[in-house]
Amino acid sequence: DGGITQSPKYLFRKEGQNVTLSCEQNLNHDAMYWYRQDPGQGLRLIYYSQIVNDFQKGDIAEGYSVSREKKESFPLTVTSAQKNPTAFYLCASNDRAFSGANVLTFGAGSRLTVL
Amino acid sequence: RKEVEQDPGPFNVPEGATVAFNCTYSNSASQSFFWYRQDCRKEPKLLMSVYSSGNEDGRFTAQLNRASQYISLLIRDSKLSDSATYLCVVNIRYNAGNMLTFGGGTRLMVKP
């Protein structure tokens, strides 16, 4: 079945450590996104990529980095510069970036807790 | 002012009740609209798109009011399984392209 796989599902990190969240899709989608969700709040866009080897900052990119070396993969690194990284991270994809005709498919999410 | 606003709730309703949520958006250039459902600690999933003429899918009805800049979701004959958070999503056109913006969600709890 086609879909998006995120790993790990749960991750604990000590302050000052970088962590990388994996996102893989087999939907042949061009566009991929990373969102952050805090309790009781909506999703905020961290980074997005419309095509391989290209990515753009979203609303809250500070303290995060991404790469898009393959169409299927869009890993997110949460760096030590991110002041409040504890959150639920969601990866999503669709055929064309921000196309009104294409809805987002989400992965199951990665829950990061900083100890 | 947030670009997409929703009443966070929770809306506590008995089974069988009819419940409606509204979502307001501030950017008149908004082009397309969606309702997503998110269960606790899960990812959002598309519930339905919202069309200009309004649309219905079983017990769910979505409507768009462009003049007043809001969309609504009506759930009839509520089931226990409808308990979830409902996210309003608006596709807004900016100079650089389109951007999907999420509301904060409205939490629904259906009680026996």
Q: Does A18 touch chain B (CB under 8 A)?
A: no
Query: Which residues of chain B have a CB within 8 Å of the CB of A103?
Result: 34, 46, 49
Query: Which residues of chain B have a CB within 8 Å of the CB of A106?
Result: 43-45
Contact across the interface for A98 and B97, Cβ inside 8 Å: yes
Q: Burial-class residue A42 by CB neighbours within 10 Å (0-12, 13-18, 19+).
A: buried
User: Does residue B16 carry a pLDDT above 90?
Assistant: yes
Predicted confidence at residue A50, as pLDDT, reads 87
* Eight-state DSSP code of residue B46: E
User: Does residue B42 carry a pLDDT above 80?
Assistant: yes
User: Does residue B94 carry a pLDDT above 70?
Assistant: no
Confidence of residue A92 (pLDDT cuts 50, 70, 90): very high
**What is the mean predicted confidence (pLDDT) over B44-58?**
92
Query: Which residues of chain A have a CB within 8 Å of the CB of B103?
Result: 42
The CA distances from residue B84 to A3, B52, B62, B112, in Å, are 22, 25, 17, 15
Confidence of residue A89 (pLDDT cuts 50, 70, 90): very high
**What is the mean predicted confidence (pLDDT) over B91-109?**
82
* Eight-state DSSP code of residue B35: E
User: Does residue B62 carry a pLDDT above 80?
Assistant: yes
Q: Which of A40, A99, A107 sits opposite B43 (nearest CB)?
A: A107
| CA distance linking residue B39 with residue A2, whole number of Å | 21
**What is the mean predicted confidence (pLDDT) over A58-72?**
95
- B22: its two tokens: 């509204």
The CA distances from residue A87 to A10, A44, A82, A90, in Å, are 11, 11, 11, 10
| CA distance linking residue A57 with residue A33, whole number of Å | 10
**What is the mean predicted confidence (pLDDT) over B34-46?**
94
pLDDT top residue among A106 and B93 = A106
User: Does residue A48 carry a pLDDT above 60?
Assistant: yes
User: Does residue A101 carry a pLDDT above 80?
Assistant: no
Q: Which of B4, B98, B105 sits opposite A98 (nearest CB)?
A: B98
Contact across the interface for A103 and B46, Cβ inside 8 Å: yes
**What is the mean predicted confidence (pLDDT) over B15-44?**
92
B-facing residues of A in 43-102 (CB < 8 A) are: 43-45, 88, 90, 97-101
Q: How high does pLDDT run on average in chain A?
A: 90
User: Does residue B23 carry a pLDDT above 60?
Assistant: yes
